[in-house]
């Protein structure tokens, strides 16, 4: 069974909703051993190669999987992105608001997020397992695991207490008839939100390259690792090439 969901942080997850390509001939095709192919999603590793052949007007000509993957490797190695953009990935995220706002900066995606104007957000907020200390190398961003246990314990206690009080205040204000769009102002940036994202494969790889970088925020990296693992299960050969030619981590 292939994984479609991976838990991240304390309450979060990444769920793979669909991977789709304009090449929709998976169902009913036979593999090299003559076994009928069935797939929950209709995207395959070879789809970018099939799309690329439109340049030579031989879109429908049959090729072996090995020939197709050699072409995909050429495309990725030489930065030909358009065929990869023909594959689209839909993901559902549950993540802290401060991470969601970082991910929204990747503008080559469509996002639909749960709205606290229309629904009451659940009593869930993120408490770091390890509380990072300020970097000792002079960097303006980043963290190190350099805080003593008592400082980390104090941080977690204060943060959880603050979030508990702010959430209870939020619920009380809703009960008093305050508009949800104003009552939500009491919620903290580590409160959880949900959204669906649609991004083409090329731009998702660019997203992963940035968010898997060791300098990316720890929590953002955890979500990027989950996305990478999900894609690796469904598009193993493509992600192997991505790791070789694009990741550089």
> What pLDDT, in 10s, does the model give residues 132-156?
888 776 556 678 788 999 999 999 9
pLDDT band of residue 30 (cuts 50, 70, 90) is low
What is the reported pTM?
0.87
Question: What per-residue confidence (pLDDT) applies to 165?
Answer: 97
3-state secondary structure of 123: coil
| Section 33-56 average pLDDT | 73
Per domain, the residue ranges of the chain are 5-93+192-247, 127-131+145-189
Instruction: List the catalytic residues.
Output: 211
Share of the chain above pLDDT 70, in %: 86
pLDDT band of residue 215 (cuts 50, 70, 90) is confident
> For residue 192, what are the β-bridge partners?
96
d(CA 8, CA 121): 19
What are the distances in angstroms from CA 47 to CA 25, 26, 69, 77, 209?
Answer: 10, 10, 9, 16, 21
- CB burial class (10 A; 0-12, 13-18, 19+) of residue 95? buried
> For residue 18, what are the β-bridge partners?
90
| Section 76-104 average pLDDT | 93
d(CA 214, CA 225): 12
DSSP 37-77: P--SS---TTHHHHHHGGGGT-TT----HHHHHHHHHHHHH
Class of domain 5-93+192-247: alpha beta
Residues 14 and 229: beta-carbon distance below 8 Å = no
- CB burial class (10 A; 0-12, 13-18, 19+) of residue 248? exposed
Question: What per-residue confidence (pLDDT) applies to 6?
Answer: 96
């Amino acid at each position: 069974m292939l994984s479609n969901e991976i838990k991240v942080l304390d309450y979060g997850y990444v769920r793979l909703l669909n991977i789709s390509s304009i090449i929709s001939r998976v169902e009913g095709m036979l593999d090299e051993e003559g076994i009928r192919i069935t797939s929950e999603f209709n995207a395959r590793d070879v789809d970018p190669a099939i799309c690329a052949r439109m340049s030579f007007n031989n879109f429908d000509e049959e090729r072996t999987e090995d020939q197709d993957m050699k072409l995909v490797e050429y495309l990725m190695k030489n930065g030909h992105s358009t065929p990869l953009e023909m594959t689209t990935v839909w993901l559902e995220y549950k993540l802290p608001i401060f991470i969601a706002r970082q991910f929204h900066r990747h503008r080559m995606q469509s996002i639909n997020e749960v709205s606290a104007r229309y629904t009451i957000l659940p009593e869930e907020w993120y408490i770091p397992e390890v509380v990072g200390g300020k970097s000792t190398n002079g960097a303006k961003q980043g963290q190190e695991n350099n805080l003593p246990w008592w400082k980390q314990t104090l941080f977690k206690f204060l943060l959880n207490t603050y979030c508990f009080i702010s959430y209870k205040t939020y619920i009380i204000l809703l009960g008093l008839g305050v508009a949800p769009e104003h009552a939500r102002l009491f919620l903290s940036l580590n409160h959880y939100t949900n959204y669906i994202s649609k991004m083409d494969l090329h731009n998702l790889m660019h997203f992963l390259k940035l968010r898997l970088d060791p300098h990316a925020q720890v929590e953002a990296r955890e979500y990027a690792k989950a996305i990478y693992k999900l894609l690796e299960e469904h598009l193993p050969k493509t992600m192997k090439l991505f790791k070789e030619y694009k990741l550089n981590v």
